[in-house]
Amino acid sequence: GAVVSQHPSWVICKSGTSVKIECRSLDFQATTMFWYRQFPKQSLMLMATSNEGSKATYEQGVEKDKFLINHASLTLSTLTVTSAHPEDSSFYICSARDYFSGANVLTFGAGSRLTVL
């Protein structure tokens, strides 16, 4: 079945630095990927929709300059948290849809836990 690889699985960084998280579809092409943020014991909050070859579509309230998304190929999307601060600490999850599967079913990465000191 479809597999999405997300790296790193966890990262600790100092306040003010930038962190990049990668999301790869391993055995299918993903024209669209989604990035979510999840707080402990809460649901997923959609941050943005990443479209291959075009600009990402951000949800209301999500800072575009803070969370940079690049979808340069059909199998890779990256999320860069710029100038990270402790309040950016969270669990970030990506997902992708296998366009040719015929159903809007998402395959998720394992998530990346970001801790900003």
Partner 1 sequence: SQQGEEDPQALSIQEGENATMNCSYKTSINNLQWYRQNSGRGLVHLILIRSNEREKHSGRLRVTLDTSKKSSSLLITASRAADTASYFCATDGGGGGNKLTFGTGTQLKVEL
List contacts with partner 1 (CB under 8 A): 4, 6, 32, 34, 41-46, 49, 57, 91, 93, 95, 97, 103-111, 113
Q: Which is nearer to partner 1, 17 or 39 (CB)?
A: 39
Burial class (CB in 10 A: 0-12, 13-18, 19+), 91: middle
Least distance to partner 1, CB of residue 16, Å: 26
Least distance to partner 1, CB of residue 106, Å: 6
Least distance to partner 1, CB of residue 33, Å: 11
Q: Which is nearer to partner 1, 38 or 70 (CB)?
A: 38
Least distance to partner 1, CB of residue 10, Å: 9
Q: Which is nearer to partner 1, 8 or 16 (CB)?
A: 8
Q: Which residues have CB under 8 Å from 13's CB, separation 6+?
A: 19, 84, 114, 115, 116, 117
Q: Which is nearer to partner 1, 11 or 46 (CB)?
A: 46
Q: Which residues have CB under 8 Å from 116's CB, separation 6+?
A: 12, 13, 14, 15, 84, 85, 86, 87, 88, 89
Across the strands, what pairs with 4? 25
